[in-house]
């Protein structure tokens, strides 16, 4: 690969030796990439500001290293630091969760510009007055949709028949199941029609309109619980940011 340039958002940071870093970026043009940055730790380094901090929106220049999937990053210029997020522990916790979730469900080099725009727009929305929880739920629903792993909501996930209001949500089956299939998952749980409609509504709306969508408290609670169970089942690793969120909510 020749020298490349792209917008990128830092998902993860790892110290390397005394002066270097390995950063995991989600880029607009190449999907998730890992880059080594030399000489950035210590006194001042060769980069300015917070361009290599987690959640920073940067423009990066990078190129191949032989026999390695970690690129050499030769330039990393800050576009947005999302200061309002960093001034709030709650916002920071939810932003870190979105970054960790994205990192956990994507592979290196799998380009998806919709996903990049989703993360960027979600961080911008979180920087404003929007509820952190609502932004996280919007991010989860959109991410599942863009990655093609949305729960089945229009037909039974087990037999493909049309479902009605009696349907239950099955984490194991991957969506709603009809009453004829309840025996396929005894752990399936009832779900309100309002919750199902909210998921479908958010999935279908363009992002610029989702910020205005309101959610009833009962629907919000059920939505959070349902998506959490679904994601936990389908993601192999435990997300550390969830523990951070729980600790903040207790305080």
Query: Which CATH number does 84-251 carry?
Result: 1.20.1440.120
DSSP letters spanning 134-151 = HHHHHHHHHHHHHTT-PP
How would you write the pLDDT of the chain (251 residues) with one tens digit per residue?
A: 689 999 999 999 998 877 889 999 999 999 999 999 987 765 444 444 588 899 999 999 999 877 788 999 999 999 999 999 999 999 999 999 999 999 999 999 999 999 999 999 999 999 999 999 999 999 999 999 999 999 999 999 999 999 999 999 999 999 999 999 999 999 999 999 999 999 999 999 999 999 888 889 999 999 999 999 999 998 877 899 999 999 988 87
Give me the phi and psi of 133, to 5 degrees please: -65, -40
* Beta bridge pairs of residue 177: 168
Q: Which candidate, 194, 168, 192, places its Cα nearest to that of 180?
A: 168
Give domain limits for the chain: 1-81, 84-251
Mark 110-132 as b/e (b = at least 16 C-beta within 10 Å): eebeebbebbbbbbbbbbeebeb
Q: Do domains 1-81 and 84-251 have the same CATH topology?
A: no
Q: Does domain 1-81 have CATH number 3.10.620.30?
A: no
CA–CA distance, 220 with 136 (Å, rounded to integer): 11
Distance from chain centroid for Cα 105? 8
């Amino acid at each position: 690969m020749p020298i490349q340039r792209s917008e990128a958002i830092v998902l993860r940071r790892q110290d390397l030796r005394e002066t270097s870093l390995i950063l995991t970026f989600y880029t607009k043009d190449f999907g998730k990439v890992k880059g080594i940055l030399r000489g950035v730790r210590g006194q001042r380094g060769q980069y300015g500001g917070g361009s290599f901090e987690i959640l920073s929106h940067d423009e990066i220049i990078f190129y191949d290293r032989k026999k390695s999937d970690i690129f050499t990053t030769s330039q990393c210029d800050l576009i947005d630091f999302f200061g309002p997020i960093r001034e709030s522990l709650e916002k920071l916790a939810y932003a870190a969760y979105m970054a960790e979730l994205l990192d956990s469900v994507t592979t290196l080099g799998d380009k998806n510009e919709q996903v990049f725009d989703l993360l960027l727009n979600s961080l911008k929305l979180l920087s404003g007055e929007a509820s952190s929880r609502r932004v996280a739920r919007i991010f989860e629903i959109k991410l599942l949709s863009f990655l093609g792993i949305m729960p089945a909501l229009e037909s039974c996930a087990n037999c493909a028949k049309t479902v009605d209001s009696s349907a239950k949500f099955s984490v194991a089956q991957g969506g709603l199941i009809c009453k004829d299939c309840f025996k396929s998952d005894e752990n399936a749980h009832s779900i309100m029609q309002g919750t199902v409609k909210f998921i479908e509504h958010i999935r279908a709306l363009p992002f610029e309109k989702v910020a205005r969508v309101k959610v009833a408290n009962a629907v919000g609670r059920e939505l959070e619980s349902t998506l959490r169970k679904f994601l936990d089942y389908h993601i192999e690793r435990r997300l550390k940011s969830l523990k951070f969120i729980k600790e903040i909510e207790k305080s």
